[in-house]
């Protein structure tokens, strides 16, 4: 019988950092520091899930951002400019990432249940290795210790939305069949990563980038506001191709059980 061998987890917004706050705020700060250029948090979130250099480049190509950039500087954002923003971004991100290393409520319990079923815990991130080398031990202090992790700049072929980080997990974990893996992610590029790697995919809605609020900000919303934000996040992730969408990784066990049942029938993603 086919059975789930591994889950491959994103980090910010999926396991740690409710609302995926750490990277987005730093993008805003980095552009302000490097070029005195303003972007909104909503704009900073649009390319979320990509490797951070690619994120900055894609951000500069967003029509409204590009138009403001050209009005302010007289030309488009070049790769040299992206390099400089990235150099500004990196120390800011490294200084902040450990502050957002605490696992989201209920996540560790879910992972313990999965491990108890013999399922391996893989992970990958849009963060580069020098950031991950700070985040990984900080999260370990809270009890999150995945069986492997892959950074966005570990793979020569590139990062999301390509499949390579997820497939590197497959190699490191010794997985026999990619259809026995589930990719969990709160961003569209991360869902595409799992799909192109041949895996089942589960979107993370409320705790992730699609809602984009801290836990306290989420709790401060009215029930009507929460309903609207949740529906929008679910729609975004299903449109990206997710097989299932859940509020949080803490709520993921029923989705895993459904996928396990599909594999028992020899169904593939």
Domains 6-21+101-264 and 22-98 share a fold: no
Query: Of all residues in the chain, what percent carry a pLDDT higher than 70?
Result: 100
What pLDDT does 70 receive?
97
Does residue 107 surpass a pLDDT of 90?
Answer: yes
Cα–Cα distance for residue pair 158/95, rounded to 1 Å: 25
Question: What is the rounded radius of gyration, in angstroms, for the C-alpha atoms of the chain?
Answer: 18
Q: Does domain 6-21+101-264 have CATH number 3.40.50.1000?
A: yes
Domains of the chain by residue range: 6-21+101-264, 22-98
Does residue 45 surpass a pLDDT of 80?
Answer: yes
In the CATH scheme, what is the homologous superfamily, with its name and number, of domain 22-98?
Answer: Putative phosphatase; domain 2 (1.10.150.240)
Long-range contacts of 59-62 (CB under 8 A, 24+ apart): 59/27
Q: Which of 110, 185, 205, 98 has the alpha carbon at shortest distance from 142?
A: 98
Are residues 4 and 259 in contact, defined by beta-carbon separation less than 8 angstroms?
A: yes
* 54 carries an active-site annotation: no
CA atoms within 13 A on the CB side of 248: 22
Within its chain, how far is the Cα of 52 from the centroid?
12
Helix, strand, coil percentages (3-state) for the chain, rounded to 5, are: 55, 10, 35
pTM of the model: 0.91
What pLDDT does 1 receive?
56
What pLDDT does 49 receive?
86
Q: How confident is the model at residue 2 (pLDDT cuts 50, 70, 90)?
A: confident
Q: Which residue has the tokens 């740690």?
A: 16
Mean predicted confidence (pLDDT) in 185-213: 96
- For 214-228, how does the pLDDT look when each residue is reduced to its tens digit (9 = 90+)? 999 999 999 999 999
Mean predicted confidence (pLDDT) in 109-136: 96
3's CB contacts (< 8 A; 6+ apart) are 180, 260, 263, 264
Distances (CA, A) of 123 to 8, 104, 184, 223, 240: 5, 15, 9, 33, 20
Query: Of all residues in the chain, what percent carry a pLDDT higher than 90?
Result: 93
Q: How confident is the model at residue 23 (pLDDT cuts 50, 70, 90)?
A: confident
What pLDDT does 48 receive?
87
- For 90-106, how does the pLDDT look when each residue is reduced to its tens digit (9 = 90+)? 999 999 999 999 999 99
Q: How confident is the model at residue 184 (pLDDT cuts 50, 70, 90)?
A: very high
Does residue 165 surpass a pLDDT of 60?
Answer: yes
- Per annotation, catalytic residue among 17, 32, 38, 52: 52
The backbone torsions φ and ψ at residue 121, rounded to the nearest 5 degrees and listed phi first, read: -115, 105
Distances (CA, A) of 193 to 11, 90, 124, 162, 229: 14, 24, 10, 5, 24
* 80 carries an active-site annotation: no
Please tell me which residue, 22 or 164, carries the higher pLDDT value: 164
78's CB contacts (< 8 A; 6+ apart) are none
Q: Which residue has the tokens 């488009």?
A: 76
Are residues 78 and 155 in contact, defined by beta-carbon separation less than 8 angstroms?
A: no
Torsion, Cα 131 173 196 127, to 10 degrees, reads: 0
Please tell me which residue, 118 or 22, carries the higher pLDDT value: 118
């Amino acid at each position: 019988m086919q059975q789930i061998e591994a889950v491959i987890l994103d980090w910010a917004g999926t396991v740690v950092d409710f609302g995926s706050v750490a990277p987005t705020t730093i993008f805003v700060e980095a552009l302000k520091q490097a070029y005195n250029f303003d972007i909104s948090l909503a704009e900073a979130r649009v390319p979320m899930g990509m490797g951070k250099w690619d994120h900055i480049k894609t951000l500069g190509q967003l029509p409204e951002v590009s138009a403001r950039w050209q009005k302010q500087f007289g030309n488009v954002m070049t790769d040299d400019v992206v390099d400089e923003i990235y150099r500004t971004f990196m120390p800011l991100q490294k200084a902040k990432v450990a502050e957002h290393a605490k696992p989201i409520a209920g996540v560790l319990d879910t992972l313990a249940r999965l491990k108890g079923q013999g399922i391996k815990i893989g992970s990958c991130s849009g963060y580069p290795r020098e950031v991950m080398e700070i985040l990984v031990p900080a999260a370990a202090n809270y009890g999150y210790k995945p069986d492997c992790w892959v950074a966005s700049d570990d793979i020569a072929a590139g990062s999301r939305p390509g499949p390579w980080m997820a497939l590197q997990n497959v190699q490191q974990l010794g997985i026999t069949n990619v259809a026995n893996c589930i990719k969990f992610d709160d961003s569209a590029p991360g869902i595409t990563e799992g799909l192109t790697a041949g895996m089942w995919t589960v979107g993370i809605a409320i705790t992730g980038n699609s809602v984009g609020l801290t836990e306290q900000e989420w709790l401060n919303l009215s029930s009507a506001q929460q309903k609207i934000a949740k529906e929008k996040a679910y729609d975004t992730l299903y449109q990206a191709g997710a097989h299932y969408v859940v509020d949080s990784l803490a709520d993921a066990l029923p989705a895993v059980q459904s996928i396990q049942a599909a594999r028992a029938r020899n169904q593939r993603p």
